[in-house]
């Protein structure tokens, strides 16, 4: 099947699109990348997302308009993927949507909300769309995150070394590979860095980690941030911008004298490096493959490597995927599993009571035809050489 994955993460800076040929052969899924692209959100839509996220209040009217606006934006991005990456021929679109709220209470997830009406995508591309991929795992007692863990387990599982996959988006999540895989959200990655750079420095983000490199870590603020009870909770666990946002940081800044912008950015960058490195050390990881926008922050990557000297820090590019594209490819895989009637979760990673076939399917312009379910679930994922098609 030729599948287009459409993804927007907690940084909501752009829609990532990736297309792949996915083939199921015995116990192996073969993924041949067809290419990827990034479609920035229109400034007004990005502002509407930002103004609707917690702790801001919203209305049903705003939610309805945002659901439609995001659906149209995802439809445009998927159509570009269909035309530019697939030459007009594909079988399926998988849309993660935009997470607006992840309802966590006392460590348990009770609900999760992603907006981006899939009917717009189905009508624009003519293809069936798999969406709402997190809810079924939540129903089964799981965190609904990190869903990329099955991609990590299938791709990295067969190795004698203790390996892990790390994604540095708005939130940092880690998948630990051993006999019983574990995955969880470690804490903020770019969420607080971007908030500080935007609100205090007028920048969208800390370009190349320059502010963090220039600044001095404020140990008092860092200790305050590290005291958050989230870090002590056992995994599996998940979090998001409903917890780690500008108001969260602002409250902690208000407890002390005003700090230079670069020092604040340096401190929240160090926070990410410390919690990530502590997780790598705790799980005795020999080798980690990082992805996400945080990999483009050389200061952050340098600090993670320096704080976890026993771990070799690599990027997912070493395995044939772009650092910004992994999650879009991962959701393409999840939709592929869904239409084959296969579970898309690893219960030890999400905390669910049982694996689940994920998502809802919106038919395209033609009859909905699903492939026959295979006799058994795949045990590994192989990435083939990228196609020039």
Are 177 and 236 found together in one domain?
Answer: yes
Q: Which pairing describes strands 171-177 and 182-188: parallel, antiparallel, or unpaired? A: antiparallel
Are 278 and 345 found together in one domain?
Answer: no
pLDDT in tens, 151-208: 999 999 867 689 999 999 999 999 999 878 999 999 999 999 999 999 999 998 999 9
Burial class of residue 101 (count of CB atoms within 10 Å of its CB; 0-12, 13-18, 19+): middle
Write down which residue in 297, 319, 341 finishes a domain.
Answer: 319
Q: Would residue 297 count as lying in a domain?
A: yes
Write down which residue in 290, 319, 348 finishes a domain.
Answer: 319
pLDDT in tens, 115-125: 999 999 999 99
Question: Which tokens is 153 given?
Answer: 């387990």
CA angle 69, 7, 246 (to 5 degrees): 75
Are 156 and 299 found together in one domain?
Answer: yes
Are 315 and 338 found together in one domain?
Answer: no
Are 127 and 171 found together in one domain?
Answer: no
DSSP symbols for 263-305: HHHHHHHHHHHHHHHHHHHHTT-SEEEEESGGGG-HHHHHHHH
Q: Would residue 388 count as lying in a domain?
A: no
Are 335 and 307 found together in one domain?
Answer: no
Sign of the Cα torsion 148, 154, 155, 156 reads positive
Are 245 and 214 found together in one domain?
Answer: yes
pLDDT in tens, 214-251: 999 999 999 999 999 999 999 999 999 899 999 999 99
What lies within 8 Å, CB to CB, of 292 at 6+ separation is 9, 167, 168, 169, 189, 190, 323, 324, 326, 327
**Across the chain, what does the average pLDDT equal?**
95
Q: What is the mean pLDDT of residues 354-358?
A: 97
Q: Would residue 275 count as lying in a domain?
A: yes
Backbone angles phi, psi at 103, to 5 degrees: -85, 100
Write down which residue in 319, 353, 368 finishes a domain.
Answer: 319
pLDDT of amino acid 387: 57
Q: Would residue 159 count as lying in a domain?
A: yes
pLDDT of amino acid 11: 81
Q: Would residue 114 count as lying in a domain?
A: yes
Q: Would residue 389 count as lying in a domain?
A: no
Are 229 and 312 found together in one domain?
Answer: yes
Are 84 and 216 found together in one domain?
Answer: no
Q: Would residue 62 count as lying in a domain?
A: yes
Q: What is the mean pLDDT of residues 296-315?
A: 97
Are 20 and 135 found together in one domain?
Answer: yes
The domain that holds 175 is classified in CATH as 3.30.420.40
- Band of the pLDDT at 297, cuts 50, 70, 90? very high
Are 304 and 337 found together in one domain?
Answer: no
What lies within 8 Å, CB to CB, of 367 at 6+ separation is none
Domain, as residue range, for 292: 151-319
- Band of the pLDDT at 10, cuts 50, 70, 90? confident
User: CA 160: distance to chain centroid?
Assistant: 26
- Band of the pLDDT at 385, cuts 50, 70, 90? confident
- What is the total count of domains within the chain? 2
Q: Would residue 118 count as lying in a domain?
A: yes
Residue 30, helix vs strand vs coil: strand
pTM: 0.94
d(CA 53, CA 57): 8
Are 166 and 306 found together in one domain?
Answer: yes
């Amino acid at each position: 099947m030729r599948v287009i994955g459409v993804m927007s993460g907690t940084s909501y800076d752009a829609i990532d699109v990736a297309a792949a040929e996915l083939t199921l052969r015995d116990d192996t899924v073969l993924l041949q990348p067809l290419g990827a692209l990034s479609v920035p959100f229109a400034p007004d839509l990005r502002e509407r997302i930002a103004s609707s996220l917690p702790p801001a209040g919203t209305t049903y009217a705003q939610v309805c308009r945002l659901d439609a606006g995001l659906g149209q934006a995802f439809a445009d991005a998927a159509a570009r993927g269909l035309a530019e990456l697939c030459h007009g021929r594909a079988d399926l679109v998988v849309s993660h949507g935009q997470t607006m709220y992840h309802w966590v209470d006392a460590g348990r997830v009770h609900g999760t909300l992603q907006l981006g009406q899939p009917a717009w995508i189905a009508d624009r591309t003519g293809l069936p769309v798999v969406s709402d991929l997190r809810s079924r795992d939540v129903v089964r007692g799981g965190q609904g995150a990190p869903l990329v863990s099955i991609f990590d387990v299938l791709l990295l599982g067969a190795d004698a070394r203790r390996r892990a996959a790390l994604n540095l988006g708005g939130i940092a999540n880690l998948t630990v590979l051993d006999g019983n895989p574990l995955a969880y959200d470690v804490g903020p990655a770019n969420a607080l860095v971007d908030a500080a750079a935007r609100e205090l420095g007028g920048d969208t983000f800390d370009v190349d980690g320059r502010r963090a490199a220039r600044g001095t870590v404020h140990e008092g603020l860092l200790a305050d941030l590290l005291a958050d009870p989230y870090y002590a909770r056992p995994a599996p666990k998940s979090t998001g911008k409903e917890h780690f946002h500008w108001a969260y940081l602002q409250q902690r800044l208000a407890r002390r004298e005003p700090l230079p912008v670069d020092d604040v950015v340096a401190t929240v960058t160090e926070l990410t490096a410390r919690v990530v490195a502590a997780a790598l050390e705790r799980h005795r990881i020999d080798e980690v493959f990082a992805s996400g926008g945080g990999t483009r922050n050389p200061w952050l990557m340098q600090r993670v490597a320096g704080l976890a000297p026993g771990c070799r820090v690599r990027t997912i590019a070493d395995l044939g995927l772009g650092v910004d594209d992994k999650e879009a490819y991962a959701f393409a895989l999840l939709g592929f599993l869904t239409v084959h009637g296969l579970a898309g979760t690893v219960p030890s990673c999400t905390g669910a009571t049982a694996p689940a076939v994920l998502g809802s399917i919106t038919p395209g312009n033609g009859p909905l035809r699903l492939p026959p379910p295979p006799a058994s679930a795949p045990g590994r994922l192989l990435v083939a050489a990228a196609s020039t098609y």
